[in-house]
Amino acid sequence: MHPFILERPRDMPAALALRAQAGRNDAPAEYIAGGTDMMQLLQEDVRRPDRLVSLAGLLDNSIEIGPHGLRLGAAATMAEVAAHQGVVEQFSLISQALLNSASPQVRNQATMGGNLLQRTRCPYFRDIGYEACNKRAPGSGCAAMDGENRWHAVLGTSDACIAVHPSDLAVALVALDAAIEIRGADGQRTTPLADLHRLPGGTPHLETVLEPGEVITAITVPANAAGLRSHYLKVRDRASFEFAVVSAAVAIETDGSRIRQARVALGGVAAKPWRLPSVERALTGTSLDPSELRAAAVLAADGARGRGHNDFKIELMQRAIVRAVETAGGRA
């Protein structure tokens, strides 16, 4: 592990100043929150900051539900949010996604902000024994392209990188139109969570739209996402304590046996949570009949491209959507 200095700034402006000078991700100074992703990457020498700037005690950890919807402080832990009664009752999709993530120990430590900014689980990114990884070492190539790419992306990929973003939480939140509050040295701004992560293009090392030093301070979910019938379906290689091969977050409002509105997002298929407006439109007004659902789910494959081992994901994600809508609607 590269030696580092641990900074415990007294307040947020001090933290922002320490980090802001350092540049974009994989910079000489990095924030650490719960540490569950950062520590692994430090131990594997994938990340080598000279300074770690601790956010402990500097960020809000409250969970509030009011007329404007849900607000999650960035320091709230996965365990706290998953168990919060209002979240369970009104924003069940979020709680389901969290309880299907990681393990109880990790959920006790890991924060909302860190979860959204966790790095890909691409095994080549996480193992410095492989030289080729455009995300870790820009311009070095991509070992996954012709390697073991069973876990990799089929949507929004580029020839430079086919990594997926591993967060379950982010998929549920994007389906619910969540936004994030961001604070930087120059003040605050808000952006839709769907715009936080970038697609790889030719620069897979640039993962988010955050400016150097900016912190996520909170996540908000609008009130109109409350009370929908929802299901988070996570398909994985073992029953628990595993990342998604494919996941589908679905929230619907039904009118008798017809779908009045639908929100659908996929995980495990792209470098960001993948919202599917075309599928949502096709689902609107249909019944819960599997053949009708299937006709809508097919649209998810628009533009999908496998790289060999991960070809099966294109079919799997469509089936996952059908199953998740059926379950949300009470049919499966």
Partner 1 sequence: MDGMRVKSCLSLAALAQGREITTIEGLAQGEELHPLQAAFIERDAFQCGYCTPGQIMSGVACISEGHAGSPQEIREWMSGNLCRCGAYDHIVAAIQDAASASGSVRGG
Ligand X SMILES: Cc1cc2nc3c(=O)[nH]c(=O)nc-3n(C[C@H](O)[C@H](O)[C@H](O)COP(=O)(O)OP(=O)(O)OC[C@H]3O[C@@H](n4cnc5c(N)ncnc54)[C@H](O)[C@@H]3O)c2cc1C
- Chain residues in the site for partner 1 (CB under 8 A): 6, 32, 35-36, 39-40, 43, 52, 54, 56, 79, 102-106, 108-109, 239-241
Residues 200-229 that bind ligand X (CB under 6 A): 215-216
230 binds ligand SF4 (CB under 6 A): no
Q: ∠ CA(121), CA(147), CA(126), 5° rounding?
A: 25
Name which position in 9, 69, 73, 113 contacts ligand X (CB under 6 A).
Answer: 113
One-letter-per-residue 3-state SS of 84-130 = CHHHHHHCHHHHHHHHCCCCHHHHHHCEHHHHHCCCCCCCCCCCCCC
Closest CA to 72 of 181, 219, 217: 219
Closer Cβ to ligand X, 265 or 297, answer by number:
265
From ligand X, partner 1, ligand SF4, none, interface partner of 124 (C-beta below 5 to 8 A by class): ligand SF4
Output helix, strand, coil percentages for the chain, rounded to the nearest 5.
30, 25, 50
> CA-to-CA distance for 49 and 22, rounded, in angstroms?
10
Q: Closest separation between CB of residue 39 and partner 1, Å?
A: 4
Sole window of 115-123, 186-194, 289-297, 299-307 interacting with ligand X (rule: CB under 6 A): 115-123
Give the contact letters, 23-62, x = binds to ligand X (CB under 6 A), - = no.
Answer: -------xxxxxxxxx----------------x---x---
258 beta partners: 255, 287
Reading the block at residue 187, the tokens are 């003040």
Q: Give me the torsion for CA of 244, 246, 248, 249, rounded to 10°.
A: 30
Closer Cβ to ligand X, 64 or 292, answer by number:
64
From ligand X, ligand SF4, partner 1, none, interface partner of 122 (C-beta below 5 to 8 A by class): ligand SF4
Sole window of 57-65, 95-103, 116-124, 290-298 interacting with ligand SF4 (rule: CB under 6 A): 116-124
Q: Closest separation between CB of residue 243 and ligand X, Å?
A: 5
> CA-to-CA distance for 95 and 91, rounded, in angstroms?
7
